[in-house]
Every structure is written in C-alpha cells, then in structure tokens.
Amino acid sequence: MPAQAIPELLDIPTFKHLTLYTGNVMKTSVAGRSKVLGKKSNTELINAIDDTLCASLGGNKPSFRYIDQESLLEVPDLRSRSRILPEDRSDVEVTAKLFYLGEKPKDNAAYIRSSVEHLQRLLGVDTIDTFIVSLGEADVSSAWKQLELLHQQNILNKLGVADFSQKQLETILSDSSVTVKPSVNQINVGQCCDMPSAMIDLARKHHIELLHNADQADILDTESLSALLQKHNIRATVKPQFVIKYHVFVRCRSVVNDKGYVVVGDSLP
C-alpha cells in the first residue's frame, strides 16, 4: 500500500462476535515457515490469521459471512476444503486442542461443546480421536466433566491435557471422581537436554503419552488479534475467547493432510 494513500475501511458491519478459520496452514506455507525448535511460540497462529485475512479480505472481493441475529462475523479460508470424506475417516486421526484464553469463562463446558461443533462441521466428522485442553486459568473439574460426557457419548475418544506438571498429573490420576483418565499430556522439553524422568515413569505407569508441545499457552491476546484486524482495515478491538487447533494425520502414511486453527472472539466496545 503506498504510504500516501488513505486506507479505506472495509465495508463490514459492526459485529459483536468473530469466528475466523485459518484453513489448512500446511498448504499455505504458514506452517512451513514457523521456526519451531526449542521454545514454545505462537508465531504460526499469528501468521495464519494474517494470511487468512489477506486471502479472504484482501483483493477486490472480500469474503465473509455476517449473521445478523447473532451479530457474528465469520471469516472463512476459501483456499482449501477441510471436509474428510466418509470413506477416508478410518484412515485418519483427528486431533483437536482447545486453548482457553482470557479470564475464567463463566461456562467452561460451553467452550468445549462449541469447539466440538465447529470441528464436526468444518471437518465433516462425528468424532474426534484426541481432544486436548490447554486450560490456562480455567477450572479443571467442570471442563473435565464435559469431556467425560462427550467421551461416554463416543464423540471424543482420547482425552488430554497440556503443560500439566507432575503434581497436577498425580492429582487428576488419584481423583476418584475422574472416571476417564487423561491419555495424553503435552509438554515442552526445549532442546531435549533435560528429560523429566519422574514424569516419564509416572506416564508410563498410567499409560499416558507425553507428547511434544510447541505452543505457548497464551496463544493469542487482544492486542495481537486487534493489531492484525486493524492491519487489514477492520477497525475493531477483539478479545479472543478461545482458539481451537486441529490436525488430520493419515495414520499408515504419516502424512499431515490438514492443520488449522479456529479463532473465536468477542468485540470490545
């Protein structure tokens, strides 16, 4: 954009809620460009949002959906289709990770239900193979109850947590009210110099997979999200409520077919 031009604001109605889909970041070069070794980061998500805003709202014909009754603005990514064909469903593993952002939400369970619905629609699936929660400040037990319910309904298979310390793991494992134990704990071990042997033993004993975590827990904040929107000529301040990260893995070929994010936020007055 030439420096002298006055940026035009996009002709978007005022909205209370925002849902943004990044599409398949494996194929848009965003995932390829994230330098991931070592510490946790959120660069991939930031680049993905930027990339989608550019692709969907840039150019001559911006694409978005505005649902009047809910004052909801939906920004899709039109470059890829994420629906999994029914005949391919058993070949792939669908993993979702829900990041709780901001202060404690009033209804923990609502975010989980909402994420599951988003993914069922987006990917065209009934079930999710692994569902991980990155809780932040949110309350474990009410979130976990909702996960167990969905597990009993055969909608979620493996349940997982992120960044749990050994103590937190021991607590949830010994909690008798927890009927479905976590099968996954995502942790980051940096440059692999210090492997947490006690946690590894604990995990092995309770059949918990310790998976690599490259994401920072506060993966998105109001400032970053709003800056991106402003960059693309949307004058709004949006506070992210939660982010869903998902990927689709073809099991017998070890190919990542799809990876993306769904960002859900509320506009601040």
Partner 1 sequence: MGLLSLGTPLHWNDAKKYADHVRSHGIDQFLSVYRKQRSRQKQCLLWGDEVEYVVVKLDKENHTTKLSLRAFDILASLQKTEQDYLEGKTTQPPEALWRPEYGRFMIEGTPGEPYGATFRDLMTVEASMKKRRQLAIEAMLPDEIPVTLVNYPRLGCPNELEIDSEPHGKACQSMFVPDEVINPHARFPTLTANIRRRRGAKVEINMPIFHDKNTPRPFIDPTIPYDREVFDHDKEAKNGAAKPDHIYMDAMAFGMGCCCLQITFQACNIDEARRLYDHLAPVAPIMLALTGASPIYRGYLADVDARWNVIASAVDDRTPEERGLKPLENDRFVINKSRYDSIDTYISNDAMYKEKYNDLDLVYDKDIYEKLRKNDVDDLLARHMAHLFIRDPLVIFEELLDQDDENSMDHFENLQSTNWQTVRFKPPPPNSDIGWRVEFRSMEVQLTDFENAAFSVFIVLLTRVILSFGLNLYIPITKVDENMATAHKRGSVLNDKFYFRKNVFTNNKPGANSNSHIEEEDEYELMTMNEIINGKDQGFPGFVPLIHSYLSSTNIDIETRCELTRYLSLISKRASGELMTGATYLRKLVTSHPQYKQDSVVSPEITYDLINTVDRIARGELKAPELLGDFNA
Chain residues in the site for partner 1 (CB under 8 A): 26-29, 31-37, 51, 54-55, 58-59, 79, 91, 93, 95, 130, 184, 187, 189, 192, 195, 200, 209-212, 214, 247, 249, 251-257, 259
Q: What angle do CA 205, 157, 178 make, to 5 degrees?
A: 55
- Measured distance CA(4)–CA(265) in Å, rounded: 32
CB of 182 to partner 1, least distance (A): 14
Least Cα distance to 235 among 12, 71, 76 occurs for: 12
209/218 with CB nearer partner 1: 209
CB of 118 to partner 1, least distance (A): 19
9/200 with CB nearer partner 1: 200
- Measured distance CA(19)–CA(90) in Å, rounded: 29
185/241 with CB nearer partner 1: 185
3-class DSSP assignment, residue 179: coil
6/195 with CB nearer partner 1: 195
- Measured distance CA(37)–CA(131) in Å, rounded: 24
Contact call for residues 230 and 211 (beta carbons, < 8 A): no
**Tokens (6 digits) for 261:** 């994010």
93/218 with CB nearer partner 1: 93
CB of 235 to partner 1, least distance (A): 21
CB of 192 to partner 1, least distance (A): 4
